[in-house]
């Protein structure tokens, strides 16, 4: 079978496919003996799950709403009641000048970024090729293979600030950030997967000013941020204006199976996203929108975020940091990125004698699954050596799994360093 150039590009082996396949196979073979610290699936938080079950029961009891949810196509742009509810919530909460026309729904956040990247970057009239700039690497592994054209992404290595004996933080190196005529957009995630970094308000304002000056949009991936799911452990008021494209998701609200992404942007962007949704899939899933709409209308979404989701993950993060400090040998040359959000620890083993991919393989043989940092530096050769000394750990699993996983990691890395 001969595939097209686009087909060949999309079906070539990618980092995210290899890791997901490897993780799935390891779980199937290892069962409960595997310490799963490598995935990104949100935790099932009992109080949050109860909210969704309650609303699902309300839908079951309302035959009109239930039948409409399952048996009627929404417009490609999304359910109108959901869009109005979200716009109203954002107006009340942040004072943003947004309406339903600024909102488009997609089949998950991953799909939203596929649409946005290929809408804005790649080949343009006149033969020019434009790129998406990631001003601070490492960044989310799921972006890396989204481009339909080659060389669509460029990234910049960060400034590294040491904030404690075993702590560090990434910052945007604005001295190296140049937005030339080949820049199509700037993209950041806040908080960042994998590092848990939250760009500061001055950093966001600086990026916004540079984007306005260059006439390109600032794309912000808010999959873990405010207003929901709000997995933020420091101030992180969301940033939006007409030059911003803000992408939200229902996944980390505990609804990953509904595959619901949300793009908030000026109308010409949301209309384009709707057109791409119509061509690629007619319409989007209805269940996530139907479940969440009443919580947006009533404001109860804030209770879910502030009283249930954020405390759950913040408690997990604090315990994870305590266990690292307790279990890892103090003489080990390691640093943990400041845990400012998400459900991950990003650990840098400075001068690690082997690549992180090899460390990943060794840990897998010992029943611990992590994600090696090698795949998070796409489009940025300057960061390759650094990310190859890093691993990402998910601390949202049960405490025994996380603690034992940390113990095995510390033992393996200490042996590699000869301690």
| Residue ranges, the chain, pLDDT below 70 | 13-33
Cα–Cα distance between 345 and 393 in angstroms, integer? 5
Spatial CB neighbours of 249, under 8 Å, sequence gap ≥ 6: 108, 109, 222, 223, 260, 261, 262
Whole-number pLDDT of residue 15 = 63
Spatial CB neighbours of 189, under 8 Å, sequence gap ≥ 6: 139, 140, 220, 221, 222, 223, 224
Let me know: does 102 contact 87? Beta carbons within 8 Å: yes
Domains in the chain: boundaries? 5-47+304-417, 73-299
Let me know: does 296 contact 329? Beta carbons within 8 Å: no
Q: Which one-letter DSSP state was computed for residue 306?
A: I
CA 252 to each of CA 202, 220, 268, 302, 412: distance values in angstroms, whole numbers, following the listed order: 26, 16, 28, 14, 31
Closest CA to 184 of 154, 205, 160, 163: 154
Write out pLDDT tens, residues 251-306. 999 999 999 999 999 999 999 999 999 999 888 999 999 999 999 999 999 999 99
As given in the structure block, the two tokens for residue 154 are 């460029």
Write out pLDDT tens, residues 155-198. 999 999 999 999 999 999 999 999 999 999 999 999 999 999 99
Whole-number pLDDT of residue 24 = 63
Taking every pair of C-alpha atoms in the chain, what is the biggest distance, in angstroms? 67
Whole-number pLDDT of residue 353 = 94
Using alpha carbons only, what angle is made at residue 115 by residues 114 and 120, rounded to the nearest 5 degrees? Answer: 105
Architecture field, domain 5-47+304-417: Alpha-Beta Complex (3.90)
CATH class of the 73-299 domain in this structure: alpha beta
Cα–Cα distance between 41 and 179 in angstroms, integer? 35
Whole-number pLDDT of residue 16 = 64
pTM of this structure: 0.93
Closest CA to 373 of 393, 403, 353: 393
Backbone angles phi, psi at 221, to 5 degrees: -85, 115
């Amino acid at each position: 079978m001969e595939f097209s150039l686009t087909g060949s590009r999309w079906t070539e082996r990618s980092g995210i496919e290899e890791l997901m396949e490897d993780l799935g196979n390891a779980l199937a073979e290892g069962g409960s003996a595997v310490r799963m610290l490598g995935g990104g699936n949100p935790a099932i938080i009992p109080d949050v799950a109860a909210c969704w079950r309650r609303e699902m029961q309300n839908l079951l009891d309302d035959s009109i709403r239930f039948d409409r949810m399952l048996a009627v196509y929404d417009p490609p742009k999304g359910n109108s009641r959901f869009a109005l509810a979200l716009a109203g919530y954002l107006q009340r909460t942040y004072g943003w000048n947004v309406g339903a026309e600024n909102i488009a729904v997609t089949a998950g956040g991953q799909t939203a970024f596929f649409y946005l990247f290929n809408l804005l970057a790649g080949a343009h009239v006149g033969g020019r090729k434009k790129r998406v700039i990631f001003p601070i690497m490492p960044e989310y592994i799921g972006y890396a293979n989204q481009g339909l054209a080659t060389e669509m992404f460029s990234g910049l290595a960060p400034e590294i600030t040491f904030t404690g004996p075993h702590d560090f933080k990434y910052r945007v190196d604005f001295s190296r950030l140049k937005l030339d005529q080949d820049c199509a957009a700037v993209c950041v995630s806040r908080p960042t997967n994998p590092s848990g970094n939250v760009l500061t308000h001055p950093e966001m304002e600086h990026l916004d000013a540079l984007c306005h000056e260059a006439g390109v949009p600032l794309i912000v991936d808010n999959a873990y941020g405010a207003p929901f799911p709000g997995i933020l452990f420091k101030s992180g008021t969301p940033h939006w204006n007409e030059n911003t494209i803000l992408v939200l998701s229902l996944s980390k609200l505990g609804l990953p199976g509904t595959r619901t992404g949300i793009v908030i942007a000026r109308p010409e962007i949301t209309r384009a996203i709707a057109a791409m949704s119509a061509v690629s899939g007619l319409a989007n899933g209805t269940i996530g929108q139907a479940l969440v709409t009443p919580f947006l209308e009533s404001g109860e979404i804030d209770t879910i975020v502030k009283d249930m989701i954020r405390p759950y993950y913040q408690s997990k993060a604090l315990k994870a940091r305590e266990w690292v400090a307790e279990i890892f040998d103090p003489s080990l040359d390691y640093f943990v990125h400041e845990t400012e959000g998400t459900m991950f620890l990003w650990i840098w083993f400075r001068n690690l004698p082997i690549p992180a991919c090899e460390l990943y393989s060794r840990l897998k043989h010992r029943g611990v699954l992590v994600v090696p940092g090698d795949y998070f530096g796409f489009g940025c050769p300057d960061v390759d050596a650094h990310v190859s000394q890093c691993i990402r750990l998910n601390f949202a699993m049960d405490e025994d799994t996380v603690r034992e996983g940390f113990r095995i990691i510390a033992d393996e890395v200490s042996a590699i360093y000869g301690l």
